[in-house]
Structure 1
Amino acid sequence: MFESADSLAPRALQPLLHDVVMCVAAPAFAASARDGQLRGDRAEGFYDHDRRLLHTLCLFLDDREPEPIGVQPLGPHQVRFTAVHRYHRDRTDDPTLIIERVRTAGEGETLTLRNVGTVERTLRIELAAATDLAGIADVKRGQHRPPLACTGHPPEGEQALPAALTWTGPTGHARLTVTSGPVPEVSGGPEGGTLTWPHLVLPPHESWQVRLAVTGRAVPEPSGHPVAPHAPAPWSRPTVVSDDVRLRDLVRQGLWDLDALRLADPLGAAGDGAEDQFIAAGCPWYLTLFGRDSIWSARMLLPLGTDLARGTLWALARRQGRVSDVFREEAPGRILHELRPAAARHGHGLLLPSHYYGSVDATPLFVTLLVEAWHWGLPDTEVDALLPYAERAMAWVVETSSRDEDGLLRYYPRAGGLRHQAWKDSEDAVRDAEGRRVEPPLALCEVQGYAYEAACGLATLLAARDRADDAQKLRNWAEGLRKRFADLFWIPARTGPAPRYVAIAVGQGPTAVSGPTSNMGQLLSTGILDEAGCRDVAAWLASPGLASGWGLRSRSKDVPGFNPLSYHGGSVWTHDTAIAVRGLCATGHHHEALILAEGLLDAATRFGYRMPELYGGDARTPDSPAPLAYPAACRPQGWSAASGVAVLSALLDLRPDITRRSLVARPAAPLALRVEGLVLAGQRLSVAVTASGECTVPELPEGWRHERR
């Protein structure tokens, strides 16, 4: 029985972002249309700590809006908007008055007018400003609130505060301040305020400039919420020299964006005083600590050093579940899903607390991040200090699985919480081969892989700490899970590139959910599949149903319910493609890996190397246009920005083993490539690959060796 679309109650729609210009310096960002004007529409505004400080900042010259001619990013945190102001009686078609607005996330903007003509101009300049001080959750679900009353503060005397407009509401406060330049007339009112310069005389070849600061915060200020970092980025900045400029530019742009997405944990720091930094999930909707997303970003950047992993692990360890709480879905040992300044409604009936634990995958991923950081050289003191948290996390995984009748890691969401609790977490994330929604409780395939990988990795770490009995218990549990997985998750295929594929999930019964999806690509590097299983999965990932030509589709185009612009039902996710490439390379399926990697790198050129969270899954043809970003996708987004390093590492097949002091470096293709600035065990090293495929690693730490197998 299907419900008619006409019978559904109307609801506000999430703002689209496909043509929005973002600049970000976490936890702040600014968003606007391409002309730079803030008109209070959609997600436009200046934000800080999930609070919109200003949603309108509109410039008028002689009661007209300037005519936009260009927008130029000056870095992830800053953008310049250029416009012109023309006169009907001029004898030239050339613009003679140029307006530049340089906007900086977390600060404000600078407005410059340049008279490049030969005639003196007299102008009336006005900036109209307003805000609703809305929370990001309200903005995301399309809620419109009336503007708040504005108070004007004109300067009075030389010692007075600068001219300013202020807003105060029950949930926040904001201030727009003129910090330098000519003093304006100031006017506040019930719906906003204005800054006006009524008689600007601008001679030929002269400039006029004013600087504005946008400040404010939530009321009350959230305790322990992540803050802007003071220290530099905690990773090395590699130099990539390659015949393939796509790979070089994807890595470079990704690191710029990750720099802007950094946050620091105010609750603690390392013993040497270094900040515990991590990567926010994405701008604008998820500019905070997200367990799964932040962990994956740190995993992908491990070849550049372990400091980001350390900061991410500690930020999550301090917030690890301690008690059983139904509303927060907290449990002892469980790792946080997301951290917000306050509880909020997120649309679709979601009511989430500020500390929310509704994620089934963040907990095993936490364990694996510690294990992989150990292999990459995280100091023993840090490993040993974090080990108890990893053991509590693994205990949650084992205990949760033991309560399941099928012995699987399954999620049971509460009413009002996230319905699906892994990376595909939208309302309709899980559909069968007929396109029908499948409801939880569900055991997702990649989550079982994460649990298996975490158990095996932690067993190796415990064995290295002379805890052989505990290690063997984990290995036994992992082997049992591997057998249950083999029995329950494989589905015979009537047609396709291989005789079987892995189900996206197993319901209760147990019933496998049919229909090929990208989820099975994340299994390859976990070890839960045998050699034949890896071969079958590789064939599906490279087949036209899942490989779009621009990357890996989240759902095969050959089954009902496929939608190239569905959030999880056919779109291409940047990080998902990169993880699949990583797994294909690790299992020796280089041909299939290169099919997906080539598509992803070609897509990167179409997006200016700032990869969106996800983009359209339409098939690529010789004359097809560039792929379209999902219209509400975050950009920049953490694990998308980190995917360039992940692909680079995958193509080199970099895998360290600290127990054997060995580094595998086995290139997936004979690509002429040199990478300097990788970090292993605290030492910088380089990897060089010749056009014939010969690989050398000349600067390994003492006692380490390079393995080519």
Structure 2
Amino acid sequence: MQPLLHDVVICVDAPAFAASPRDGQLRGAHVQGFYDHDRRLLHTLCLLLDDREPEPIGVQPLGPHQVRFTAVHRDPRDRTDDPTMIVERVRTAGVGETIVLRNVGTRGRTLRVELAAATDLADIADVKRGRRRALVPCTGASDGAGLEWRSASGHAELRTTVSAIGPAVADGPEGGTLTWSPVVLRPGESWQVTVTVAGRAALEPSGHPVRPGEPASWSEPVIETDDRRLRDLVSWGLRDLDALRLADPLGGADGAAEDQFIAAGCPWYLTLFGRDSIWSARMLLPLGTDLARGTLWALARRQGRVHDVFREEAPGRILHELRPATAQHGNGMRLPSHYYGSVDATPLFVTLLVEAWHWGLPDAEVDALLPYAERAMDWVLERTGEDTDGLLRYNPPRSDGLRHQSWKDSEDAVRDAAGRRIEPPLALCEVQGYAYEAANGLAELLRDRNRPDEAQQLLNWATALKKRFADLFWLPSPDGPATRYVAIAVGHGPTPVSGAASNMGQLLSTGILDEAECRDVAAWLTDPQLNSGWGLRSRSATVPGFNPLSYHGGSVWTHDTAIAVRGLCATGHHPEALALLHGLLDAATHFGYRMPELYAGDARSNGSPAPLAYPAACRPQGWSAASGVAVLAALLGLRPDATCRRLTARPAAPTPLLVRGLVLAGHRLTVEVDRKATVSGLPEGWRVQDG
């Protein structure tokens, strides 16, 4: 079974991470270990003092990439109840750890220090499915100060700083041990050893993402507000995003900047994911366009070129996920290294380019990426043209790929109001919104490039899609908060799938809904059926099959709530947006502002306990970490228009708010909101228009 993560301490510096229990001891269980490039390098690293494990007393994050574990080693001969030997382990992702013993007592101590290490060199896909692999035999390092492991799948090594006391090295088929003895510490003295962990897969995959060589392209904005929750959510999110950055090794040639993007999440998805990386880049556009540029190029280089059933590749289709090799993912699912099984990444790619253009992506970059966006749109038009209802559907061509191919991609992601699982082919409601938004945005860009005929064809297609959507997706609900709601999907027939779900919230900012339809959706999003009080539930709590701790059947997804807030603000439903936002911000206080991928959708009440994290949720996770910037931008209500150099400001902030350091076309803005928005620092030729 998939290992649970809710009590796991994770530090990450993509593509490396370390996962530990709260006492810091790695015992070879579950997800524990040091990882790099989807390979577990070490799964056991257990510290013993005089044949006993230290007693843990605390764990302290020192940043996204580093954590400190503190323990004590007590001695019955001490004439005090206070600990006199403090043990500190500072673990750093991608590096290793430093172990410090401090004698804070009044008498000397003589210790035997042992460090036991072992590994299975498992692939992350095997770890995720709970598959146990045999231990790899261990050998002593040639320099006498470490251990090594080698197998057909990879190699790992553990090195220590040279010490006058040793270490003594013992190795064997089940692991190795480093021993320092005797370690003599007089009162006030300390002893330290640094352990480095390194290694890789046996075969380096060509073009696989690497650790960035350049710093993040964004700077943290200065936020002045009475609401500390908002400020801390943005700040902690940006720290996690910095640790989740990866670079495309195929880019950055001829002195150009690196093409960086955000990995989907740690530990399971620490790589390029089309949908997730695109949404993270979209959310961060108010801080600059470099991340969007890097994300677009990383995906453009891997855009589908041929028809391939196993990869589900097609010309123009955007990659779903990139892995080092083909792998078994459990439940009979076998995915190739380059997998295209996503229906939404392709239209989202088009929209990211359009939004980056509006936020000031240089014309040369826009023009270079435009052919890729056109090919992506061609794929959308071809798929809808083949559909009898003219909708963008998914219908997986093979049984061992992803069954559901939108962001709700679990086995039971789509259920109806009776709780029955609904199988593909399916046209998800938000996917039609993505396609509509992409067509309108690309038409706007083509018209700006003096291609009016092609632009008009896209606009005509979008208009027809909007009408089909209005005819097929609405269901009556006489007893609901509004008299109708948007079906999560349309299946055969076409038959709409009944039962209210959060998907309709992602339609608000796409333009596919008219004013009255937006008002009905807003009523549903804030009704207790969907609004848990901590954020937006993925499925209504009133339908059979609702489960607050399911992946997509009632849990709250951070990014989904943020996108709904963004859409509510964009359509002028500010009270509804603030109701969801305050629930999200309150939840953030209980998660230390490192928002998990998703958390439980239990109803909030006066005096109710803190929300529970979904037990296998990624944390940190890309679009969850980016959600703070998304809701900040939503409150400011900024919408740039590159065609007429106009920045519309329609703030929703309930209290005064001042933000310095937003970026438009390379210029740093200051935005002050006090009922209305005042913007300074605009690029030359730009003007502000009130919403």
TM-score w.r.t. length of structure 2: 0.99
Question: 1:256-335 counterparts in 2 under 5 A?
Answer: 256-269=239-252, 272-335=255-318
Query: Match of 2:159, as an amino acid?
Result: T
Match of 2:434 among 450, 454, 461: 450
Query: Match of 1:586, as an amino acid?
Result: A
Query: Match of 1:165, as an amino acid?
Result: L
Question: 1:359-508 counterparts in 2 under 5 A?
Answer: 359-413=342-396, 414-508=398-492
Query: Match of 2:493, as an amino acid?
Result: G
Counterpart in the other structure of 1:353: 336
Counterpart in the other structure of 1:236: 219
How far residue 198 of structure 1 moved from its aligned partner, in angstroms, is 2.2
Find the aligned partners of 1:149 and 1:111 in 2 and give their Cα distance.
Answer: 25
Other structure's SS at 2:482 match: coil
How far residue 653 of structure 1 moved from its aligned partner, in angstroms, is 1.1
Q: In the alignment, is the contact (CA less than 8 A) between 2:418 and 2:543 conserved in 1?
A: yes
Counterpart in the other structure of 1:158: none
Match of 2:150 among 153, 159, 168: 168
Q: In the alignment, is the contact (CA less than 8 A) between 1:489 and 1:505 conserved in 2?
A: yes
Moved more, 113-122 or 383-392: 113-122
How far residue 235 of structure 1 moved from its aligned partner, in angstroms, is 1.5
How far residue 179 of structure 1 moved from its aligned partner, in angstroms, is 3.2
Which residues of structure 2 form unaligned runs of 5+? none
Match of 2:549 among 565, 570, 581: 565
Q: In the alignment, is the contact (CA less than 8 A) between 1:452 and 1:526 conserved in 2?
A: yes
Other structure's SS at 1:553 match: coil
How far residue 221 of structure 1 moved from its aligned partner, in angstroms, is 1.1
Q: In the alignment, is the contact (CA less than 8 A) between 2:472 and 2:490 conserved in 1?
A: yes
Q: Deviations over 1:202-237 (max 9, x none)?
A: 111001001111000011111110000010101132
- C-alpha distance 650-335 of structure 1, shift in aligned 2 (>3 A): same
Find the aligned partners of 2:163 and 2:599 in 1 and give their Cα distance.
Answer: 43
Counterpart in the other structure of 1:255: 238
Match of 2:582 among 598, 608, 614: 598
Find the aligned partners of 2:162 and 2:656 in 1 and give their Cα distance.
Answer: 52
Q: In the alignment, is the contact (CA less than 8 A) between 1:37 and 1:57 conserved in 2?
A: yes
> Is 1:525–2:518 an aligned residue pair?
no
Find the aligned partners of 2:554 and 2:60 in 1 and give their Cα distance.
Answer: 32
Other structure's SS at 1:210 match: strand
Match of 1:694 among 651, 661, 676: 676
How far residue 615 of structure 1 moved from its aligned partner, in angstroms, is 0.2
Q: In the alignment, is the contact (CA less than 8 A) between 2:20 and 2:26 conserved in 1?
A: yes
Find the aligned partners of 2:485 and 2:590 in 1 and give their Cα distance.
Answer: 32
- C-alpha distance 270-151 of structure 1, shift in aligned 2 (>3 A): closer
> Is 1:587–2:575 an aligned residue pair?
no
Question: 1:331-342 counterparts in 2 under 5 A?
Answer: 331-342=314-325
Q: Deviations over 1:562-588 (max 9, x none)?
A: 000000000000000000000000000
- C-alpha distance 575-333 of structure 1, shift in aligned 2 (>3 A): same
Find the aligned partners of 1:326 and 1:695 in 2 and give their Cα distance.
Answer: 51
Moved more, 174-183 or 309-318: 174-183
Find the aligned partners of 2:558 and 2:614 in 1 and give their Cα distance.
Answer: 12
How far residue 694 of structure 1 moved from its aligned partner, in angstroms, is 2.6
> Is 1:121–2:121 an aligned residue pair?
no
Counterpart in the other structure of 1:662: 646
Query: Match of 2:301, as an amino acid?
Result: R
Q: Deviations over 1:502-541 (max 9, x none)?
A: 0000001100000000000000000000111101000000
Other structure's SS at 1:226 match: coil
Query: Match of 1:330, as an amino acid?
Result: E
Query: Match of 1:20, as an amino acid?
Result: V
Q: Deviations over 1:412-440 (max 9, x none)?
A: 11210000000000000000001110000
Q: In the alignment, is the contact (CA less than 8 A) between 1:670 and 1:689 conserved in 2?
A: no
Match of 1:104 among 89, 92, 110: 92
Q: In the alignment, is the contact (CA less than 8 A) between 1:172 and 1:216 conserved in 2?
A: yes
How far residue 699 of structure 1 moved from its aligned partner, in angstroms, is 1.6
Query: Match of 1:378, as an amino acid?
Result: L
How far residue 162 of structure 1 moved from its aligned partner, in angstroms, is 5.5
Counterpart in the other structure of 1:534: 518
Counterpart in the other structure of 1:43: 31
TM-score w.r.t. length of structure 1: 0.96
- C-alpha distance 699-627 of structure 1, shift in aligned 2 (>3 A): same
Question: 1:123-202 counterparts in 2 under 5 A?
Answer: 123-153=111-141, 161=143, 163-182=145-164, 183-202=166-185
Q: In the alignment, is the contact (CA less than 8 A) between 2:653 and 2:673 conserved in 1?
A: no
Counterpart in the other structure of 1:5: none
- The percent of aligned pairs where both chains have the same amino acid is 78
Find the aligned partners of 2:387 and 2:253 in 1 and give their Cα distance.
Answer: 38
Moved more, 172-181 or 63-72: 172-181
Q: In the alignment, is the contact (CA less than 8 A) between 1:180 and 1:212 conserved in 2?
A: no
Find the aligned partners of 2:641 and 2:187 in 1 and give their Cα distance.
Answer: 68
Other structure's SS at 1:268 match: coil
Query: Match of 1:570, as an amino acid?
Result: G
- C-alpha distance 479-26 of structure 1, shift in aligned 2 (>3 A): same
Counterpart in the other structure of 1:649: 633
Other structure's SS at 1:199 match: strand
Q: In the alignment, is the contact (CA less than 8 A) between 1:500 and 1:536 conserved in 2?
A: yes
Find the aligned partners of 1:236 and 1:174 in 2 and give their Cα distance.
Answer: 36
Query: Match of 1:466, as an amino acid?
Result: N
Match of 2:657 among 642, 658, 673: 673
Query: Match of 2:561, as an amino acid?
Result: T
Counterpart in the other structure of 1:615: 599
Question: 1:202-217 counterparts in 2 under 5 A?
Answer: 202-217=185-200
